[in-house]
Amino acid sequence: MSDADINIPVQSVDEARTLLGPLDCNARLIRELHGVSVLARAGGLRLLGDAEHTTVVQSVLEECLRRMRIGHKVSTQDVATELRKTLGMMSADGGTEHERPVRPTGSGVVRARTEGQQAYLDMIDKNDVVFGVGPAGTGKTYLAVAKAIEAMKEGGVQRLVLVRPAVEAGEKLGFLPGDYQAKIDPYLRPMHDALSDLLDPRTRNRWLESEVVEVCPLAYMRGRTLNQAFVILDEAQNTTVQQMLMFLTRLGESSRMVVTGDPSQVDLPGNIRSGLGDALHRLQDVEGVGIARLGVADVVRHKVVGRIVTAYEKFDREQQSRSPD
């Protein structure tokens, strides 16, 4: 498949903001659904990616611009809805997407874009606890959140619990301003981003306010039992062995659990063993536990991300081969 580089002229900052959304939420959605990068440039938006998908994104954005310019009211959420609809139509018309879509919303669909992603989704359907392991950009967290919302909409669970360990990635939590909640909010932002992409604002706000959806740090899990819940632990490589055991034993009746992480991106101090790697070793043959290993072939962000991951892995292998025993 060939690459494309397309520019979409915009006439005002408001047009660009409507298309991209608050904090570029639609740009992230485009990247997750289509693997197309959207770059804001003076007087326009630049689309970079696979030619087929880039053309689809172009048609959606240009149609939204056309409607705005003839006086129709078009919101950021309208743009997101059209993007999701088009992905579904691509697949229905014989596109390259895999079968068995996830339907986290009434009109939108999320589909596996690689065989590894489809195996991951199938594993979530068949197991009570699933580990989704792989590098950045493989969709492991996004797909898990989509499955959680789908389970909620279908009545399979009554609440969603999205969890992250608050571990500094080379930065210090204490230097952030505000109280504890303000300090941990940046660590939970990726979970909120996924919710924003997959739910309309009204539903998302209603679920968060009623605590049907809970987004919280791992420390808040101690002592709890989660019944009839879909529970996701993200960035699990930054848990200790004790924290991982504590989290896994929160699973209650009629609940499901997905644990995602990248073992190559551990931010724990060097003398502390990652709970993710430990759990993968201990639980590989346990009934009801599935382990999906995603790789560079499953990266669906900008194509250069896959090349970057490959380069880092190659460098690490070379360094290890040169190290004395």
Residues 211-233 have pLDDT tens digits of: 888 888 888 899 999 999 999 99
Lowest model confidence (mean pLDDT) among 14-18, 84-88, 142-146: 84-88
Per mean pLDDT, which of 69-83, 145-159, 274-288 is the most reliable? 274-288
Contacts of 186 (CB under 8 A, 6+ apart): 176
pLDDT band at 42 (very low <50, low <70, confident <90, very high): confident
- The whole-model pTM stands at 0.62
Place of tokens 């009204």: 202
Q: What are the distances in angstroms from CA 76 to CA 30, 35, 190?
A: 13, 19, 19
End-to-end CA distance of the chain: 44
Mean pLDDT over each residue of the chain, to the nearest integer: 81
The per-residue pLDDT for 179 is 47
Q: Tokens 């019944």 identify what position?
A: 227
pLDDT confidence bin for 155, thresholds 50/70/90: confident
Q: How many CB atoms lie within 10 A of CB 254?
A: 11
Please tell me whether residue 59 adopts helix, strand or coil conformation.
helix
- Both tokens of 269, joined, read 């101090």
Q: What is the pLDDT of residue 182?
A: 53
Sheet holding 44-50, edge to edge: 3-9, 44-50, 37-41
Distance CA 62, CA 68 (A): 10
45 membership: H or E segment, kind and range: strand 44-50
21-32 pLDDT, tens per residue? 888 888 888 887
Q: Tell me, what's the pLDDT at 167?
A: 62
- Weakest mean pLDDT among 40-49, 81-90, 296-305: 81-90
- What three-state secondary structure class fits 97? coil
Mean pLDDT (whole number) for 197-201: 79
Q: Quick one: which of 152, 130, 143, 149 has its CA closest to 228?
A: 152
Helix (H) or strand (E) holding 280: helix 275-282
Cα distance between residue 163 and residue 247, in whole Å? 10
Count other Cβ atoms within 10 Å, centred on residue 223.
Answer: 7
Q: Note the residue count of the chain.
A: 325
If one compares 245 and 72, the residue with the highest pLDDT of the two is 245
pLDDT at 63 over 60: yes
What's the rounded mean pLDDT across residues 186-194?
Answer: 71
CA separation for the pair 48, 197 (Å, rounded): 20
**Residue 108: band (very low, low, confident or very high) from pLDDT cuts 50, 70, 90:** low
Q: Which among 100, 122, 120 has a CA at the least distance from the CA of 111?
A: 100
Smallest CA-to-CA distance from 232 within 254, 213, 253, 208 is with 213
The values of phi and psi at residue 265, to 5°, are: -120, 45
